[in-house]
Structure 1
Amino acid sequence: MISLKKNIVLLCLMLSSAYLGSTARPTEQIAEMRPQVSLAELIPTTFEGWKAEPSGGGQVVNPQQEKMLNEVYSETLSRSYVNAEGYRIMLSLAYGRNQNDTLQLHRPESCYPAQGFVLQSKRSTELTIAGQQIAAVQLETNLSQRYEPVTYWTVIGDRITTFGFSKKITEMEYAWHGQIPDGMLVRVSSIDRDSSRAFEAQKQFSEQLIQAVKPEHRNRLIGGNLTTTQL
């Protein structure tokens, strides 16, 4: 029954896509509705006991090729933060102004193995950030002796969504309203053999980070209604 329902929805999506392609193309960009601010300005360098290390001081690894980053994303930001206990969290943001069929966010569970990492596990989780439930994904990866647990989530337009079926439906809903959504991938990770400790630290870091971001910009990172968007 679930498979049948999914197939019906997929058929509707295909018909909708064909209709949009032949009669109308979305023209209103969600990115233009937002206050214009760079990621470097958006994300504070110090908050709640965390402090960004000088450039090159951390060990942030971006598992995506620079050429692809430049082609797919409008802007990226990578920083390494450390707290008073010396625990290090690596933050990576990837933002794309136009989420269409050719310019798409790339999921870390595909990009990490492409760069030599072993994907040991993957699971869905929920984070409570600024009073919102965030659907996130947790990965356990390693490259030789580098064990790197990862937590990430994605925002399409003003909505938290997972990759695959859910993401496609969200994009189609925007398209039906003549809108082109932007996309943000938020990834936090740490080099730690103790995954449970790492995921708890990443959860705490994420909550404190979002609370430190100005309220008018938080929807870029955790979703939230844009008054001009009616879905």
Structure 2
Amino acid sequence: MLSIKNLVVLALMLLSATLSVILRPTISLADERPPIDLAVMVPTTFSEWHEEVNLTAQVVNPQQKIVIDKIYSQTLSRTYVNKQGDRVMLSIAYGKNQSDSLSLHKPEVCYPAQGFQLLHKEIITLKLMGISVNATRIETNLGNRFEPVTYWTIVGDQVVTSSINKKISELRYSIQGRVPDGMLFRISSIDRNSTSAYALQERFAKEIASVIDLKNRARFIGNKNSN
């Protein structure tokens, strides 16, 4: 029997499908804004961090390349290290078209698909450049690799934390005749101590958000949450 949450999601999907026929969004939100170039927009060196070219930790890829190329317009994967030797892995996925069939795939789906166990999940709020960003934390494990993860998802300029939020945000754009783009911003580190890992990831998130050009910042951290 379907839960109330699943029924709501189903109703929203049906409403979205109906509106897509009636309204037929034809304007791509991405085409109205400056083009995305993740490699340029995200600096390789900032604050206490610099990109580690000779990787010692592998960034988990969300899917096989054929799937990545279909769903995402661009992806960026880097490992950053500071003077203390702390390492943080950054993965950003950008999709120009956030239709149901091309939606960004969440880490709690991607990691188990790569063989990881999902140990814990929680929703938290990060304060980034004065914006309250509702983010998700998950603890993952594969053999001796313990990898806590912090991530958030943006549809257009709105941070969304659930399927319902995402669908509501998409409907808002659909009513405007627009097809929204989307971005998934993921930070992780290899650490058995999730408390220290999340503290490091939060510090990294604040520092990288502060160096993203102001004109591009909403694309990375949103300008409001979809509640």
Distance in 2, Cα, partners of 1:182 & 1:158: 9
Would you say how many aligned residue pairs link Structure 1 and Structure 2? 222
Distance in 2, Cα, partners of 1:4 & 1:75: 35
Write out per-residue CA displacement over residues 130-159 of structure 1, whole angstroms, 9 at most, x where no aligned residue: 000000000000110000000000000011
Q: Call closer, same or farther: CA 1:144–1:14 in 2, change over 3 Å.
A: same
- Superposition misfits of 4+ residues, deviation over 3 angstroms: 3-13, 55-58
CA shift, 1:58, in A, is 4.0
Write out per-residue CA displacement over residues 33-77 of structure 1, whole angstroms, 9 at most, x where no aligned residue: 222241000000111100001154542121422111111000000
Unaligned runs of 5+ in 1: 226-231
Aligned to 2:33: 34
Q: TM-score, normalised by structure 2?
A: 0.91
Matched to 1:105, the amino acid is L
Partner-residue secondary structure (3-state), 2:108: helix
Matched to 1:48, the amino acid is S
Aligned to 2:18: 18
Q: Call closer, same or farther: CA 1:202–1:26 in 2, change over 3 Å.
A: same
Partner-residue secondary structure (3-state), 1:44: coil
Aligned to 1:228: none
Kept in 1, the 8 Å contact 2:125–2:132? The answer is yes
Write out per-residue CA displacement over residues 107-129 of structure 1, whole angstroms, 9 at most, x where no aligned residue: 10011011100101001100000
Distance in 2, Cα, partners of 1:59 & 1:8: 38
Distance in 1, Cα, partners of 2:66 & 2:212: 30
Aligned to 1:78: 77
Aligned to 1:157: 156
Aligned to 1:104: 103
Distance in 2, Cα, partners of 1:219 & 1:208: 15
Q: TM-score, normalised by structure 1?
A: 0.90
Q: Call closer, same or farther: CA 1:12–1:54 in 2, change over 3 Å.
A: closer
Q: Call closer, same or farther: CA 1:164–1:8 in 2, change over 3 Å.
A: closer
Partner-residue secondary structure (3-state), 1:218: helix
Aligned to 2:42: 43
